[in-house]
Amino acid sequence: MFSRQAFRHLYRTLIFVAYGGFMDMASHPALPTIAPAPDISGQSQRARWLALAPEAAEANAFYAPDMLGAAIDHLASGQDVHLIEAHEGDRLIGLLPMVQRVRHGRLPIGCVGNWMHDHSFFGAPMIRRGDEIAAWRAFLTQLDAASWAGTFLHLEGLDAAGANAAALEALCVEQRRGRLEIHRYDRAMLRSDLSADAYWDTHVRSKKRKELRRLQKRLAELGTVETRLLSAQDKLARWCDDFLELEASGWKGQEGTALGCKPADAAFFRAACAAAFEAGRLHMLRIDLDGRAIAMLVNFRHGEGAFSFKIAFDEALGRFSPGVLIEIANLHAVQDDPTIGWMDSCAAADHPMIDSLWAERRTIVQYRIALHGHGMARMRRSAAFAIANGVEAIARRMKGQA
C-alpha cells in the first residue's frame, strides 16, 4: 500500500517525466501550446449542422443547431472552443464540439474534451446514422494531427449503450488506440409504452400517489390551478421571463447558479428557447396558481427523444411539492405525445425526486482516449495517457476502491 507521501513523490515524478523527461534536464516542464480558437460563427457552417441533425445516429439536443448555436453565441467566450467536422466527400457526417483544457482533474496535464458547458448535460457528438465509425475515424485523425489537442481526449456525458460509445470502442480496437472508461453512473430516464396513468400506477408507490393527490387538492383550495404547455410563439418571451424570475427566487438564485444570475446565461437561455421553438424542439410546461407561475419545466427535443433541461418552482409553496406536481404533468405530456419516444432526466445520480417517479435508467460514462501523432509529440502523448491512467489507479488503490 502506498503512503500519501510516496504517492505525492510519484505524482511529481510522473508529471516531470511527461513534460520534462524528454527535454533538457535544466528546462522547466511546459504545458501544450494553446492555439487561438477558430471562427465558429459562420452561417454556412450552421446550415450544414441543420442538415445533419435530423439524421443523427444518437439524439443530443445540446449539440442540435438551436442549442449549440446559442451556446456558441453566448457561452463560448474565453473557452478555446473548436468545432471538429467529419466529411465524406462534400457531405457532413459528424460534428464534435471540443474545448481545450490545461488540466485533467487534479493532474496538470493539458488535454482536449467534448464541450460540455454548465448548461449541457449530454455529450454525444452529432454523427450521421450509418457513418458512426467513419465519423470517429475522421475526428481522431484530425485530433492526432492537431498541435492544440494536448495529450489525450477526455470524453464525458456519453450513453454507455449509445452509437457513439459502440463506434468508438470498435475503432479503438481496430487502431490499437488506448481507451479507458474512467467513470460511470446511472440517471433516471423515461422510456415506456405505458400510458401516463398506467405508468404512474405501476411505478409509483400507492402511499406516495395518495399523498400527492392530497397535495393537489390542498393546492386547489388556494385558487385556480392551471397546467399549460407552451404553444404560441408570441408568449415565448413572457414564459422565458417567468422562468428566469421563478428560478432566481429560490436557492439557485441565492447561490448565484440560476440562469438569470449571469447575463450570458440568461441570453443563452432565451436564444436557445427561441431557436428550439422555431425548430419545433422546445417543450415547455408550467403550473399557474391564479395566473401566476408556481412551477415551470423546460425540455428540449431532438429526434424521437427529449432532454429535461431545467425546473423551477416557488419554494414558498414547498409544502405542496410543486416540483413533483409539474413532473406529474410532464409525465402526462410526454406519454400522451406519440412523437416523443423517451426523455432523459439529465439529473444527477441517485436524485431523490425523479428517481422515485421514473423507473428506467440511462448509464452515462466518461472515457479517456489516447491520441497518436508523430515523433516527440506521440511519445509525450503516450506518456501522458499512461501517467493519467497510472495515477488514477494508484489513487483508487489508496482509497480502497481497487
Burial 51-87 (b: 16+ CB within 10 A, else e): ebbeebbbbbbbbbbbbbbbbbbbbbeeebbbbbbbe
pLDDT at 40 over 60: no
For residue 6, pLDDT beyond 60: no
Which pLDDT band, with edges at 50, 70 and 90, does 80 fall under?
A: confident
Per DSSP, helices labelled H in 109-235 are 132-145, 163-175, 196-203, 206-220
Phi/psi of residue 155, nearest 5 degrees? -110, 130
Q: Which pLDDT value is given to residue 12?
A: 57
Identify the CA nearest to 191 among candidates 352, 323, 340.
340
Burial (0-12, 13-18, 19+ Cβ within 10 Å), 243: buried
Would you say the C-alpha torsion 391, 393, 397, 400 has a positive or negative sign? positive
User: Which cell numbers in the block locate residue 337?
Assistant: 405525445
* Residue 401 pLDDT: 58
Question: What is the widest separation between alpha-carbon atoms in the chain?
Answer: 78
**pTM reported for the whole predicted model:** 0.88
Instruction: Give me the pLDDT at residue 377, please.
Output: 87
- Can you identify the CATH homologous superfamily of domain 4-186+363-398? Gcn5-related N-acetyltransferase (GNAT) (3.40.630.30)
According to CATH, the superfamily of the domain at 192-340 is Gcn5-related N-acetyltransferase (GNAT) (3.40.630.30)
What residue segments make up the domains of the chain, in order of their start?
A: 4-186+363-398, 192-340
pLDDT tens for 90-113 read 899 999 999 999 888 878 888 999
| Whole-number Å distance between alpha carbons of 269 and 119 | 9
Q: Does this chain's domain 4-186+363-398 share its CATH topology with 192-340? A: yes
Does residue 30 register a pLDDT over 60?
A: no
**What's the whole-number average pLDDT of the chain?**
89
Quote the radius of gyration of the chain (alpha carbons, Å). Answer: 23
